Structures are given as C-alpha cells and as structure tokens.
Amino acid sequence: MNRALLSLLVCTLGLLWLAILRIEGVPASLAWLRPSVIVVTAATGLLWAWDNMLWRTRPFSLLRKRLDLNGTWKAVLRPEESKRIAAYWVVWQTASRLMARLYTSESYSSTVVATLNMEDDGAATVSSVYRNEPRLRVREESDMHYGGLILRTADALATKLEGQYWTDRGTKGEMTAERISRDHARSFAEARAIEERTPSK
C-alpha cells in the first residue's frame, strides 16, 4: 500500500468518523483530523519497514512464512543434454514483491512478473515470465525473446533451486542455482567477482 492510498484511506475514515459524531450530536471539528498526518506518516514508515526489512527478521519472520531469496545465485543452464551455460541469477525481494535478473556472458534476462508460492511442507516455488536481451554482438544468432521459468527449492535450507525454462522461440531446458552471496550483482562480471571472493563451501 503506497502513501497516497494510505492517506486517502485515513482521511476517508476520519471524515466518516466526524459525520457519525455530528449525527450523534457530539461537537466535532476538522481539528480532530489533524492527528491523521501523524497517523499516515507513522503507518507509512511501518509499512515500509515491514516490506523491506521486518518480514525477514525474527520474531517478525515467524508471522509470515516466506523464504528470503535475496542475493546472487550461481546458476547453470542446460538447453541440451551435453551443453552447459554458466549464469548468475540475482534476486531482489521484499515482503510484497520479487524481481530477478539472469546474467550470462552473452545476454541478460529480467522478470516481467514473478511470484513465490510456499507449500505446506516449507518448500517453495518461484514462477516467472521474463524478457531476455542478448548483447549486440550476438543479436544475429539470438534475438530478444520472452520466456517462462519455474524453480523449486532443492534442499531443506533453500540454498539450492532447480527447475526448467522455456522460450517463445520454442527452446527449453533445465536450470539449477545455488546462492553464493546476499549481495546483489548488477552484471555478469560483478557476479563473477562476487563468486571469486566468496569462500568455497
């Protein structure tokens, strides 16, 4: 909920409150609405804190079971049985939104829409539609395209994901990913640098 919508809601409820007081014959004035500014500011701050930080920290995280996928993941794409493509999957996540980018040496993909679904047993599934933009030097062999991706948790700690992808060009394949850092890389080179300075497990 953004600040404008929250302000509208508080003001509407405040005016309704004044109307009820007038109907009941209780003296009321617009001065009664002045605290609404403080209410809106405080509520906006609390909503921002919940959406960006509190949802993933204890004890608040116990109120809503939702995996925190934030960070840089080392990924492997398998479009064919004998082919492997090194990639990095980077996730930005809040309590209400999830956005990811996939970097390879020849292209990057960004989510158009993505959802995280939690199962009763604690497992999770990420479903997304993405847009892939190849680098200029490979545009003749690979045009910009759209695709879908489904990843599921592959271990109890949710540090590994596996699944499949497909594109509107008729191609498809499998993908695995393992988180290497909580930092967010913004390019293939930066992701590789993060991997190089991350201690081996």
Looking at every residue in the chain, the average pLDDT score rounds to 84
pLDDT reported for residue 154: 79
Q: For the chain, what percent of residues have pLDDT higher than 90?
A: 45
DSSP letter for each residue of 49-99: HHHHTGGGSTTGGGTS------EEEEEEEESSTT--EEEEEEEEE-SS-EE
pLDDT reported for residue 29: 65
Contacts of 97 (CB under 8 A, 6+ apart): none
- 3-state secondary structure at position 41: helix
Q: Are 6 and 44 in contact (CB under 8 A)?
A: yes
How far is residue 185's CA from residue 41's CA, in Å, rounded to a whole number?
Answer: 33
Kindly report, residue by residue over 75-133, the tens digit of the pLDDT: 999 997 778 999 999 999 988 899 999 999 999 999 999 999 988 777 889 999 999 99
The position carrying tokens 């759209």 is 146
Domain boundaries, the chain: 3-52, 71-197
- Tell me the pTM: 0.78
Contacts of 141 (CB under 8 A, 6+ apart): 134
Q: Identify which has the larger pLDDT, 140 or 89.
A: 89
CATH of domain 71-197: 2.40.128.380
φ, ψ (nearest 5 deg) of residue 64: -145, 105
The closest of 71, 11, 67, 79 to 39, measured between CA atoms, is 11
* Farthest-apart Cα atoms in the chain, separation: 81
